[in-house]
Copies of this chain bind each other. A is one copy, B any other.
Amino acid sequence: MARTPVWKSIAETLENEIAAGHYSAGDKLPTEAQLAARFGVNRHTVRHALADMAERGLVQSRRGAGVFVAAEPTLYPIGKRVRFHQNIRASGRLPEKRVLRLQTRPCDATEAEALALDPGTSVLVYEGLSLSGGVAVAHFESVFPATRLPGLADTLKTVSSVTEALRQNGIADYIRAETRITAERASPTQALHLGISEGAPLLRTVGLNVTPEGEPVERGITWFAGDRVTLTMASD
C-alpha cells in the first residue's frame, strides 16, 4: 500500500483540529517555523500542507500576516440599496476601505454613457480595497461626475463610506439602478491586493447608482474574491 505523503498527513491533522474546534474561523494558525518544529519536518513540507489546505478553501494565507482558518463567506445583499458598510456590519464584521487611488481624469465612452455625461467631461476615479473583518474581500473602482461633486475627492480622503461621503456632498440618497455580474480570473495585481492566487475566480459586478430622481451619481466596478463573498438576492 502506498505510504501517505508527510505533507498530506500534516494537512489531515490540521484539518481534524479545525473540525474539532481547536482553531476557529478567523484564527491564525501557528507559524511555518512552529508547525515545522511540531511535526519534525522542514518548512517546505509545512508549506506544501498549507498550500493544499488553501487550495481546498480550508485556510487563507494573508500576505505578511500569516495563515488563517477560512471564515464563512461574507453574505453581501445585492438589491435596490447596496451599501458596503451596512452589508458588512450586518454580517457581524468590521467594514473598512483602503484607498489606492483618487484621481480626476476625462471619462471614457462607457462612463460617459452610464453617467449621462458629455464625452471628455471630468470624472473622479476612486480605486481601493474593501475589507471585511480585516480581510480584503474586494477590489473596486468607482467613477463619479467630478464637476457635479467638486468636494467629493477631499471627502473620500477621510470618509471611507461612499454613502456618507455622498451625503456630505449633497446626495442625501441613492439607489442601485442596475447590476451586471460576471466571473473573471484575478489579475496579478488583484491577486497581490487580495492575497489570493493569480487566476483565482472573482465575481465582477458593475453597478450604477442613481439619485431617487434618476440622476446617475456613481458607476462602480467591484471584483469580489469568489471564496470570500456570496452575493445574495432576495426577490421582493
Q: Which of A110-118, A122-130, A195-203 makes up part of the contact surface?
A: A195-203
Tell me whether A147 is interfacial, beta carbon within 8 Å: no
The answer to whether A233 touches B183, judged by C-beta atoms less than 8 angstroms apart, is no
Oligomer: number of copies: 2
Identity of the chain B residue whose Cβ is nearest the Cβ of A82 in the assembled complex: B235
**A79 vs B184: C-alpha distance when bound (angstroms):** 22
| A167 interfacial by beta-carbon distance below 8 Å | no
Do A231 and B182 form a contact, CB below 8 Å, given A226-B201, A236-B80?
yes
Mask, A175-211, CB within 8 Å of B = 1, is: 1111111111100000000000001111100000000
A73, CB-defined interface residue at 8 Å: yes
CB contacts under 8 Å to B, within A11-30, are none
How extensive is the interface on chain A, given as a class? 20 to 34
- A181 and B230 form a contact (CB under 8 A): yes
Q: Considering only CB atoms, which chain B residue lies closest to A234 in the complex? A: B178
Q: Is A224 among interface residues, defined by CB-CB distance under 8 A?
A: yes
- Asked if A54 is an interface residue, CB under 8 A from chain B, the answer is no
Q: Identify which of B177, B180, B235 contacts A231 (C-beta below 8 A).
A: B180
Q: 1/0 per residue A157-184: CB within 8 Å of B? A: 0000000000000000001111111111
Q: Does A232 contact B (CB under 8 A)?
A: yes
Residues in B whose Cβ lies below 8 Å from that of A224: 183
Q: A178-B235, A179-B233 are in contact. Are A184 and B80 (CB under 8 A)?
A: no
Q: How far is the CA of A73 from the CA of B202 in the complex (A)?
A: 17
* A153 close to chain B: CB less than 8 A: no
CB-contact partner of A202 in B179, B183, B230, B234, under 8 A = B183
Contacting A233 at CB < 8 Å: which of B181, B182, B226, B236? Answer: B181
B203 touches A181 (CB 8 A): yes
Q: Is the CB of B235 within 8 A of A176?
A: yes
Write the chain B residue with the least CB distance to A186: B201
Q: Is the CB of B231 within 8 A of A175?
A: no
Q: Is A51 an interface residue (CB 8 A)?
A: no
Interface residues of A in 208-230 (CB under 8 A from B): 224, 226-227, 229-230
B175 contacts A235, C-beta separation under 8 Å: yes
For residue A78, CB closer than 8 A to chain B, the reply is yes
CB distance from A163 to the nearest CB of B (A): 16
